[in-house]
Every structure is written in structure tokens, then in C-alpha cells.
Amino acid sequence: MTGKAAVHGGTAGVPVRRLTVLYDAGCPLCRHIRDWLARQRKLVPLDLVPAGSDEARRRLPGLDHGRTLEEITVVGDGGQVYRGPAAWIVCLWALAGYRSAAHRLSTPAGAPLARAAVLAAAKYRRAVRGPDGDGDREGGWGGTAYRADDGWSYDPGTGWTFTGRTPASSLPPACGGECPAPD
């Protein structure tokens, strides 16, 4: 991979034979992309590793692991470090069906599209995970979902309702455990 990737430590020009993709295991979009990458035919092997995990720290001891949870990071076997749009482009470059797309995205004309994709993913992650990285519990969705086996049911006309057909410990979140158990 050549171009304006964020390579460090004198690794420019060193061939890439394997890539470690650090993904946010707590982000549904990141897990979906990890699964998609795993299914693709590869020209360069990809090791998909949760960012900030013990495995990531063991494999890449000199990397700023806090930053890998903030920004998509891909590390080449020759020490290359790709962040942001360059990381996404190098992932596509490693795939048999997307190498030409990676080359187009690495041009001045394609760079804004690659940057927009990475920014959109980052915005989604912030919305799901929240500013503390654990879901926006204060002002929004928080990344959780209602589930039927938790006592919730969905009616297209009225939306989600709590049926109360589960143990008292599964009271609706609005009750905070203080509501009376349903009959």
C-alpha cells in the first residue's frame, strides 16, 4: 500500500503482507463491518482484533490503545499504522473485490468520500456509545433495545408496551424498580 497513509517509524515503502484491524467490539456497526471483512476474499490477510483488548495490547505493545478506541486503526506487519480514512482504505485494498475502489478512494477526488464515510461511522459510534463510551444514558437511545423476552411487545399502531409477563425484577426501565408488579 502506498500513498498518504499515516505510516510511522520509517515504514514507508515496507511491503504490507498482513494487517491487524482494531475494531470497537462494543459498537454494533464496528462488529457488522468486522463480520463483513471476515467474509470477504482477501489478497492480504486481516487479523480482526478488538481495540483496547488484552490481545491488542499483547500484539501491539507500543501502540496508543486509548486512541484506537477513538479512531479506526489498522496496523501493518511492517509497523505501518493507518488511522481514519487511510485505515478504511487499506482494509478495502486488502480485499480482492475492492482493491480498485481503494485506489480510487486514495486519490484527491476520492479522499472526501473516504473521509465522509469514516466521519459518518464515528458519528454513529458516538450516538450509540455516548460520550463516556458506555451509551448515552442521559439524552437518548443508549444503544439498548426492547426485547420480547424482557416483557416488551410491539404493536405497529401503538408502539412498544411493557406486558409485565416476566419476573418482577424485569420491570420497565421507567419504574426504576419502584413500580408495583403487574397483576
More confident residue, 3 or 73: 73
Distance from chain centroid for Cα 44: 21
Q: Rounded to 5, what percent of the chain is helix, strand, coil?
A: 35, 15, 50
Following DSSP, what letter does each residue of 153-166 receive, concatenated?
A: EEETTTEEEE---S
The pLDDT score that the predictor gives to residue 5 is: 43
Q: Considering the entire predicted model, what is its pTM? A: 0.64
Closest CA to 94 of 81, 76, 108: 76
Structure confidence by residue, pLDDT tens digits, 51-63: 999 999 999 999 9
Closest CA to 69 of 83, 58, 81, 80: 83
pLDDT band, very low/low/confident/very high, at 83 (cuts 50, 70, 90): very high
Structure confidence by residue, pLDDT tens digits, 156-168: 656 555 565 544 4
